[in-house]
Amino acid sequence: MSLSQIAAETYGMTAGRTWSLVGAALGLVGIGIGVFARRRGVVAVACGVAGALIGVLVVVMAKGGPGTGYGIVGGYISLVLGVVAAVLGGLAMRKGARAGARRAG
């Protein structure tokens, strides 16, 4: 195996890196929705859970550490962003329910 083949495998866009980017994007979308929305907390929770699950799958399936091309660092980032998005979505849902209860009562 030549040095250029090793570099291509290490620095290229691998499946693990792609999935960790997808999970991180879902987590960021969930965080954005959770912060700026009142009634769309369910969407933020769904995006957060999906991002966290993708992150867990990437971390579990990785066969090497950071820099090996398996996307383990992105998987951890996706996991954290997903959990944060789910928590913010839950808080937005509570906030929306309290606002609805005040209007009704």
39 in a structural domain: yes
pLDDT at 52 over 90: yes
Q: Which domain does 21 fall in, by range?
A: 15-102
Q: Is residue 1 part of a domain?
A: no
Q: Is 5 inside any structural domain?
A: no
Q: What percent of the chain has pLDDT over 90?
A: 33
Question: What integer is the mean pLDDT of 90-94?
Answer: 86
pLDDT of the residue at 85 = 93
Domain membership of residue 44 (yes or no) is yes
Check whether 51 has a pLDDT greater than 70.
yes
Ramachandran quadrant class, 84 (left: phi over 0; alpha: psi -120 to 50; beta: rest): alpha
Q: Which range, of 3-7, 44-48, 57-61, 74-78, averages the lowest pLDDT?
A: 3-7
Name every residue whose Cβ is closer than 8 Å to that of residue 29 and which is 6 or more positions away in sequence: 47, 85
CA distance 69 to 16: 7
Question: 53 Cβ partners below 8 Å, 6+ apart?
Answer: 23, 82
Residues 6+ apart with CB under 8 A from 105: none
4 versus 95: the higher-pLDDT residue is: 95
How many domains are contained in the chain?
Answer: 1
* Residue pLDDT, tens place only, 9-23: 567 778 888 888 899
